[in-house]
């Protein structure tokens, strides 16, 4: 497996870890994935030629992802089953809360409605946590710039008894500067070399998300 390349100097990147997540850094020029995210890394130069060469060309990107580049911003999100489930669970929690309060005022038998309230409250949390933690991705998906990148590194990270795939992907912004994004592959389908669609903040491309790395979905047209 080839090592991921530094966006600035094209050297092979070192793979480290800031638990539990893997991270990348360049021993040659000092580029560091975490430092770029904190905006204290000097990456304001053009990208390295070898780094850019690994990215899908414009024509290749149009061919692989014809729809991704056609939908003009602001793009619309798909209303997913998770969102419907979260709303229903929240409404149920409110109903059970009201039932508990009424039972307390009249019969005093609050056990059943209180248990139902806790269960539906728990379900609401489980369904909405991935939506809330990814709230910032909505803006990127809807109004960020879009480009094609490529998966350059994959790491399997343990979480409890399960594992999940963390990917790093290379992309360039409209000005030709190279960036590396990191995310969880929710699709479970990506591997090193896979082309992907990346949405990024044009004013700070270190803020970016790949289409497979979010639980939000964009409408195709």
Work out which of 28, 76, 80, 204 binds Zn ion, going by CB under 5 A: 28
Which residues does residue 147 pair with via DSSP β-bridges, in sequence order? 198
Question: Which of the stretches 11-19, 64-72, 85-93, 143-151 binds Zn ion when contact is defined by CB under 5 A?
Answer: 11-19
Nearer to Zn ion, 16 or 74 (CB): 16
Nearer to Zn ion, 44 or 161 (CB): 44
Count the residues of the shown chain that bind Zn ion, applying the rule CB under 5 A.
8
Question: Which of the stretches 20-28, 49-57, 123-131, 132-140 binds Zn ion when contact is defined by CB under 5 A?
Answer: 20-28
Instruction: Map the footprint of Zn ion across residues 79-138, applying CB under 5 A.
Output: none
Work out which of 8, 61, 140, 190 binds Zn ion, going by CB under 5 A: 8
Task: For residue 31, state whether it binds Zn ion (rule: CB under 5 A).
Answer: yes
Contact assessment for residue 197 and residue 167, using Cβ atoms and an 8 Å cutoff: no
Nearer to Zn ion, 10 or 56 (CB): 10
Nearer to Zn ion, 31 or 199 (CB): 31
Binding site for Zn ion (CB under 5 A): 6, 8-9, 11, 26, 28-29, 31
């Amino acid at each position: 497996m080839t090592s991921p390349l530094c966006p600035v100097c094209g050297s092979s990147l070192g793979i480290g870890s800031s638990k539990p997540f893997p991270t990348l850094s360049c021993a040659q020029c000092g580029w560091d994935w975490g430092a770029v995210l904190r905006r204290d890394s000097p990456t304001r130069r053009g990208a390295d030629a070898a780094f850019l060469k690994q990215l899908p060309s414009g024509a290749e990107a149009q061919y692989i992802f014809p729809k991704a580049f056609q939908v003009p911003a602001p793009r619309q999100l798909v209303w997913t089953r998770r969102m419907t489930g979260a709303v229903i669970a929240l409404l149920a929690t409110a109903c059970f809360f009201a039932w508990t309060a009424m039972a307390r005022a009249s019969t005093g038998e609050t056990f059943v409605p209180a248990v139902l309230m806790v269960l539906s409250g728990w379900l609401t949390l489980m369904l909405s946590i991935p939506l809330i933690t990814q709230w910032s991705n909505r803006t990127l998906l809807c109004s960020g710039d879009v480009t094609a990148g490529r998966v350059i590194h994959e790491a399997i990270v343990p979480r409890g008894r399960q594992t999940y795939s963390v990917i790093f992907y290379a992309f360039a912004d409209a000005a030709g500067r190279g960036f590396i994004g990191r995310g969880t592959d929710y699709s479970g389908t990506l591997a090193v070399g896979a082309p992907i669609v990346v949405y990024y903040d044009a004013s700070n491309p270190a803020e970016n998300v790949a289409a497979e790395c979010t639980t939000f979905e964009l409408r195709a047209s």
